[in-house]
Amino acid sequence: MTRHLILGGIAAVLMSATTVAADPVDGLWKTGTGDDGGYLHVSIAPCGSAICGTIDSAFNSAGDQELNYEHDGKQMIWDMVPDGSGGYSGGQIWDPEADKNYKSKMQLNGNTLVVKGCVAGGLICKGQDWTRIQ
């Protein structure tokens, strides 16, 4: 009986060790509007030990979903790591309108995610406020 309790305890510890709490930034986010008034939905989730974001869907300026958007499923954010107090850094972001990659940082404030792409060693940044959908 003692052997069964020990094995059961070990199994419980192993199961709890493999259960990872969701990162607060995980979810579906609506980007700010682009130059044409359209926006994206981006799914943010863990990818390895970092945080990544993938384009889930695109919408035109009227709010209609663009069913044949060429970048659906493309990774837009990668290698972001939490740096405390809702901040994320160390990653990259791809801007579909410019087709360029930038160093990126993010700051989570409730249901708003401030996402920035930066150049010149992070001295010059341009950003958007994203809104949590789910």
* pLDDT tens readout for residues 47-77: 999 999 999 999 999 999 999 999 999 999 9
The pLDDT score that the predictor gives to residue 84 is 86
CATH number at residue 94: 2.40.128.520
The pLDDT score that the predictor gives to residue 109 is 95
Return the structure tokens found at 51: 């945080």
Structural domain of residue 64, as residue ranges? 23-132
Task: Output the CA torsion sign for 68, 25, 129, 115.
Answer: negative
Average pLDDT, the chain: 86
For residue 2, being part of any structural domain is answered with no
Range 77-82 average pLDDT: 97
For residue 11, being part of any structural domain is answered with no
The pLDDT score that the predictor gives to residue 22 is 74
Q: How many domains does the chain have?
A: 1
With b for 16 or more beta-carbon neighbours within 10 A and e for fewer, the 45-84 pattern comes to: eeeeeebbbbbbbbbeeeeeeeeebeeeeeebbbbbebee
The pLDDT score that the predictor gives to residue 96 is 93
